[in-house]
Amino acid sequence: MTGQTIAEKVLGAHSAGGGRVRAGDLIDARVDGLMAINYQWMRATYERIGFPDGPPNVWDPARVFLMNEHVQPPADLDSAIGNYQSKLVANRLGLTHFYESEMGVCHQMMLDYGLVRPGELVLGNDSHTTAHGGINALSTGIGADETAYVWAFGELYLNVPETIKVVLRGAARPYPFGKDVILYLAGVYGDDFAQDKAIEFHGGFAAASDVATRLCIADHAVEVGAAFGVFLADEKTRAYVDERNVERIPWQPVAPDPDARYSRVIEVDCDALGFQVARPFRFDNVAPVDASAGVRIDQARIGSCANGRFEDIEIAARMLEGRHVAPGVRFYVSPASVRVYKQCADAGLISVLLEAGVQVQDPGCMICQTPGIVLNEETCITSTTRNYRGRFGGSRTSEAQIYLAGPATVTAAAIAGEIVDPTEFLR
């Protein structure tokens, strides 16, 4: 009998029917946890089905994780009302994990508080929930209606996906390089090469990389269409998870069988890769940084669920030490969580950034949308998640030029005032 992939193993273990499952099966999956953010996103669902005051019950008050982080602090009346209603619901149903006023990115907060572990199946109403695959969890984003259902029943029908095996060969870099790897994959194979599939990341580069790099790549699995993006667990994973697993909930990593069946195998020589840039207005409009060299910028950003971790901010501070942001450039940096912010402050990074002219922002998801509208006449380079039209200002700024790159490339551009190869600054 042919072996199983990670997705097949995890979904089989969580299937209400039990037993082995195969790609193509439809299963009733019992989840380990539900990340629910921004109650106002679910409010319309509950109102439509006759519950104007919100969900009448919860399947497990200890395994629904409710967060207001996308709108913290709330910037408008509707968001403030939604946050207040979140509190009413959390109190009424006795939710164990309700983060009412903490700033941060939901995916990083899930990790910081040890709410997701290897081998688990966790769903969330945000597309970048795939990030948790960086620690060997099977995790994906769902819509508001599905979130309301899981909230009540703790299960959801899921298709068992085919799996693509991506072998990342080479050595880890001494700076964040995950964004460059996933951009390269999107540029060569398209932003839909893994549509509705799972991706397993293997190879020497994957094994040698730190957890932050793995989280970045898994986070962006959704940008190439994947339902799941998952790495194997190792001692780095164990150290990262155990430090945060304060409730000491037992967990078990999952690995594929040696004879697992894959729909496709892709191999990448990461040692041969240089820095990559996605040009407007697609994630897969990718070329080496030299192809965009000389493009003048008005704004630069580092942050988000993809690149707001300590390692991303540390490289920016290291490159900026003794230097200054170029005149006319607005450089925004936002840590992914309060824990990351404190890490950066304790290491002295925040002072370095401020002295260099960086505008350090509150932790949170707003770095992907605000601060700082990018006007039609302006250009931004960012390590956040997406670069589609109007991403930083809505439809009225649809001509604003948005480039995606890793933190080193973003920082180099902020120093030079234009897109450049960051190699010289890294030396």
pLDDT digit string, tens, across residues 139-188: 999 999 999 999 999 999 999 999 999 999 999 999 999 999 999 999 99
Mean pLDDT of 222-226: 98
pLDDT at residue 47 tops 90: no
Domains and CATH numbers, the chain: 6-268 (3.30.499.10), 278-426 (3.30.499.10)
Predicted pLDDT of residue 368: 84
Given a contact cutoff of 8 angstroms between Cβ atoms, the answer to whether 43 and 73 are in contact is no
pLDDT at residue 103 tops 80: yes
Predicted pLDDT of residue 239: 98
Predicted pLDDT of residue 72: 81
pLDDT by residue (tens digit) across 345-382?
Answer: 999 999 999 999 999 999 988 888 766 789 999 999 99
Predicted pLDDT of residue 370: 67
Going by C-alpha positions, the residue among 22, 20, 52, 426 that lies closest to residue 263 is 22
pLDDT band at 105 (very low <50, low <70, confident <90, very high): very high
Mean pLDDT estimate for the chain = 95
Predicted pLDDT of residue 53: 82
Q: What is the pTM of this model?
A: 0.96
pLDDT band at 42 (very low <50, low <70, confident <90, very high): confident
For residue 217, CA distances in Å to 80, 149, 180, 305 come to 33, 29, 9, 11
User: 240-276 burial, b if ≥16 CB within 10 A, otherwise e?
Assistant: bbeebbeeeeebebbebeeebbbeeebebebeebebb
Predicted pLDDT of residue 250: 95
Mean pLDDT of 53-71: 91
